[in-house]
A and B are shown apart, each in its own frame.
Chain A
Amino acid sequence: MPYWMGAVGGYTGLATRVVVLGLAAMSVNFLLGFTGVLSFGHAAYFGLGAYGAGMLLKYVAPSTTLAILVGVVVGTLAAAAVGALIVKLRGIYFAMVTIAFGQMFYFIAFRWSSVTGGDDGLTGWRRLPIDLGFTTIDILDNAEAYYYMVLLIFAVSVGIMALILRSPFGRTLLAIRENERRARFLGIPVERHIWIAFVISCFFASLAGVLYALLNNFVDPRTLHWTLSGNFVIMAVVGGMRSFWGPLIGAAIFVVLQDYVSSYTQNWMFFIGIFFVLIVLFFPRGVLGIIRKRLS
């Protein structure tokens, strides 16, 4: 078991979930915190990644590596298409449209049961040991091995996101966030930048979705539902949007809290909801914001 999970009384699977959902929340924050665009539909790409991976393993080829690849490609391509339709929209309009598109994918997965398993979810497949040529890594039976694989992928993804944000392209995104009109006057093609940022963000969201599907060996339409998108945004905000690591902290809090509260009461959403309302009202900068304020 990862050592930090022991401190909060969890188990390996929970730790993997924290890292996976942390990646999803960070991908949402890439847009929300650093580009200033709120997507409320990231679960769509998360879920498409999950379905892409699951369906490949079920119907096409028994290869975890290929499943990761295909899942990410499916999610990213869908994001590229949807993104092109919506980059002209801003603010709450953008948010509403992203959710609505997410729901379209949700209903497709929900209704097309002959292929997706419908409401019961896609079953009858599982992640497979990874063949590296000289050795195989058994991520199937060894939960810890899978955890470390996820952690490695997470680390690489986070490194890439950090590099992008430090690059001139990332700085331009910040400029758009701070003052879109001024950025436009400087000759920056704002729409194209937002589109690219959207696609990058959804790339990581679908990667997280793939890892989530492989973690559970199961996908169901709820991974596409807008409430999950909302949960990603909650994680990002609770941890602290505009901060790089905040969403990871938010995801850890959300996942552990949900696990903890739901073992006492079925009505965990009630408590998460109240907690979140209080955060938004009184600590809009999130947990990291509070810590930073204390330190300074």
Chain B
Amino acid sequence: MTELILFNVFNGLIVGAFYALMALGLSLIINLTSVINFSHGGFLALGAYIAYELAPYLGFWGALILAPVLTAVLGLVVERVMIRRLYGRDPLYSLLLTFGLAYVFEDGLRYIWGAQSLPFHVPDWLTRPLSTYFFFLTGYRVFMVVLVAVAVAALFLILTRTRLGIRIRAGTLDLETVSVLGVNVRILRNLNFGLGIYLAGLAGVLAAGLLGLQPTIGDALIMPSFVAIIVGGLGSLFGTLLGGLLIGVAAGIATVFVPSASEAIIYIMMAVVLLFRPRGLLGEEGMNL
């Protein structure tokens, strides 16, 4: 029993790390530009497939480094060609645009790589169990959690230490003033979008190693990512991180006791949070975009 609970809590932590990684990217984009990026799951899947194509030439590690970067570059292009045109209009339009894009992504990936699941190989030494007692604890699972932790730490460092990050955070609070102070808002939004998509691509490569590739690999993550943002509170990246981990672990624990409710539990959590604290756990007052 203890082992089962431990397994599910750890598994929940992994799942939560994915939610958080994806939700952080979404949250970055929402905070600065009020765009709910529905195509985030599509970008995640794309990152996974790019890694799949790169892996034979660069190996797992090369793909892990390069695929998210290439995904981010595509994100920069999409922002520049399409999403940029909709700033200043009702946020509804960008939401709708990215929803259409999500369809294009999913079916486009299916068209190119097929609907069937493709394997994505991770180095053998990573897939071996770490201990005979905790058979579930493979190196890859631990590696994923560690890498997500590193990525999140790096993100927070970027946001607090670099000029770009400080501008992003300032723009989140008051984009107009930032623009008046001479920051090129066009570039700022572009880079911010790319940063968010980078995180999606990274999540995609990691997920591919765990689950294999499917065009819908991002679908199962996008709604929980919304929930993570809502539970954590709009406008707070730290809240988003907390929300993602929280719902991941909650779903993991629910798997032990009420397996059939493991997916619904996160929405119930969301309802409870909304009931008592409509702006989310760490949400900023007045961030109802």
Chain A interfacial positions (CB closer than 8 Å to B): 32, 38, 40, 85-86, 88-93, 95-97, 99-101, 103-104, 107-108, 110-112, 226, 230, 233-234, 237, 267-270, 272-277, 280-281, 284
- Which of B103, B234, B260, B275 sits near A85, CB closer than 8 Å? B275
Chain B interfacial positions (CB closer than 8 Å to A): 30, 34, 36, 38, 82, 85-86, 89, 91-93, 95-97, 99-108, 110-111, 223, 226-227, 229-230, 234, 260-261, 263-264, 267-268, 270-271, 274-275, 278, 288-289
Q: Would B95 and A274 count as touching, CB distance under 8 A?
A: no
Q: Would A111 and B99 count as touching, CB distance under 8 A?
A: no
Taking A111-B264, A273-B103 as known contacts, 5 extra A-B pairs with beta carbons closer than 8 A to each other, sorted by chain A number, are A92-B95, A273-B102, A280-B93, A281-B85, A281-B86
CB distance from A88 to the nearest CB of B (A): 5
In chain A, what residue has the closest Cβ to B107? A270
Q: Would A104 and B271 count as touching, CB distance under 8 A?
A: yes
A107 to B270, CA, bound (A): 14
Which residues from B are CB-within-8-Å of A101? 267, 270-271
Which residues from A are CB-within-8-Å of B226? 96, 99-100
Q: Would B85 and A97 count as touching, CB distance under 8 A?
A: no
Q: A100-B230, A103-B223 are in contact. Are A233 and B103 (CB under 8 A)?
A: no
Q: Would B268 and A104 count as touching, CB distance under 8 A?
A: yes
Q: Would A269 and B288 count as touching, CB distance under 8 A?
A: no
Which residues from A are CB-within-8-Å of B85? 281
Which residues from B are CB-within-8-Å of A91? 34, 91, 288-289
In chain B, what residue has the closest Cβ to A91? B289
- Which of B103, B110, B229, B271 sits near A272, CB closer than 8 Å? B103
Q: Would B263 and A277 count as touching, CB distance under 8 A?
A: no
A97 to B234, CA, bound (A): 12
Task: Identify which of B36, B93, B101, B275 gathers the most chain A CB atoms within 10 Å of its CB.
Answer: B36
CB distance from A271 to the nearest CB of B (A): 8
In chain A, what residue has the closest Cβ to B272? A85
A93 to B102, CA, bound (A): 19
Task: Identify which of B85, B92, B226, B275 gathers the most chain A CB atoms within 10 Å of its CB.
Answer: B92
Which residues from A are CB-within-8-Å of B227? 100
**Dominant SS at the B interface?**
helix
Question: What are 20 A-to-B residue pairs whose CB atoms are below 8 Å?
Answer: A40-B95, A88-B278, A89-B278, A90-B288, A92-B34, A99-B223, A100-B223, A107-B263, A107-B264, A226-B223, A234-B96, A270-B103, A270-B107, A272-B100, A273-B102, A273-B103, A274-B100, A276-B99, A276-B100, A277-B100
Task: Identify which of B85, B106, B268, B274 gathers the most chain A CB atoms within 10 Å of its CB.
Answer: B274
Which residues from B are CB-within-8-Å of A89? 274, 278, 288
- Which of B89, B93, B264, B271 sits near A108, CB closer than 8 Å? B264
In chain A, what residue has the closest Cβ to B34? A92
Which residues from A are CB-within-8-Å of B107? 267-270, 273
Q: Would A92 and B289 count as touching, CB distance under 8 A?
A: yes
Task: Identify which of B30, B102, B271, B275 gathers the most chain A CB atoms within 10 Å of its CB.
Answer: B271
A134 to B38, CA, bound (A): 53
In chain A, what residue has the closest Cβ to B108? A270
Q: Would A104 and B267 count as touching, CB distance under 8 A?
A: yes
Which residues from B are CB-within-8-Å of A226? 223
Which residues from B are CB-within-8-Å of A277? 82, 97, 100-101, 104
Task: Identify which of A93, A230, A237 gathers the most chain B CB atoms within 10 Å of its CB.
Answer: A93
A92 to B223, CA, bound (A): 14
Which residues from A are CB-within-8-Å of B111? 267, 270
Which residues from A are CB-within-8-Å of B106? 269
In chain A, what residue has the closest Cβ to B111? A267
Task: Identify which of B30, B34, B99 gathers the most chain A CB atoms within 10 Å of its CB.
Answer: B99
A275 to B278, CA, bound (A): 36
Q: Would A85 and B100 count as touching, CB distance under 8 A?
A: no
Q: A104-B264, A272-B103, A281-B97 are in contact. Are A92 and B91 (CB under 8 A)?
A: yes
Q: Would B289 and A90 count as touching, CB distance under 8 A?
A: yes
Q: A100-B226, A104-B267, A226-B223 are in contact. Are A38 and B101 (CB under 8 A)?
A: no
CB distance from B63 to the nearest CB of A (A): 26
Which residues from A are CB-within-8-Å of B99? 230, 233-234, 276
Which residues from B are CB-within-8-Å of A32? 92
CB distance from B264 to the nearest CB of A (A): 4
Which residues from A are CB-within-8-Å of B96? 233-234, 237, 276, 280
A196 to B102, CA, bound (A): 32
CB distance from B33 to the nearest CB of A (A): 11
Which residues from A are CB-within-8-Å of B103? 269-270, 272-273, 276
Q: A85-B275, A99-B226, A276-B103 are in contact. Are A107 and B267 (CB under 8 A)?
A: yes
A276 to B103, CA, bound (A): 10
